[in-house]
Amino acid sequence: MKIRPHHLLCTRSFKGKGYSDIFINNMRDVIEQLQKNQPVEMQSGTDCICSACPENNKGTCRSEEKVTTLDRNTVKYLELKKQTYSY
């Protein structure tokens, strides 16, 4: 599974609130897959979590500048590398 770096933090703090029912159900599905030790690769740009996000505009995030900064900060803080991780 390929996800944006900051989504590692989102999946850990997800409470099932906000956005839409479609987004919430998608996030729950993604978290369930991650908890089954689905291999995780970091990627830039929209991912499987973004697919149900209201900010996703045909594969492009309306808040791309903001989330790219979140991704960079997450990579730096967690010292993530280009490799496959276990959740």
pLDDT in tens, 13-27: 999 987 899 999 999
Task: Check if the beta carbon of residue 79 is closer than 8 Å to that of residue 14.
Answer: no
Residue 83 has pLDDT above 90, yes or no: no
In percent, the amount of the chain with pLDDT more than 90 equals 86
pLDDT per position as a tens digit, 43-70: 999 999 999 999 999 999 999 999 999 9
Residue with tokens 């599905």: 29
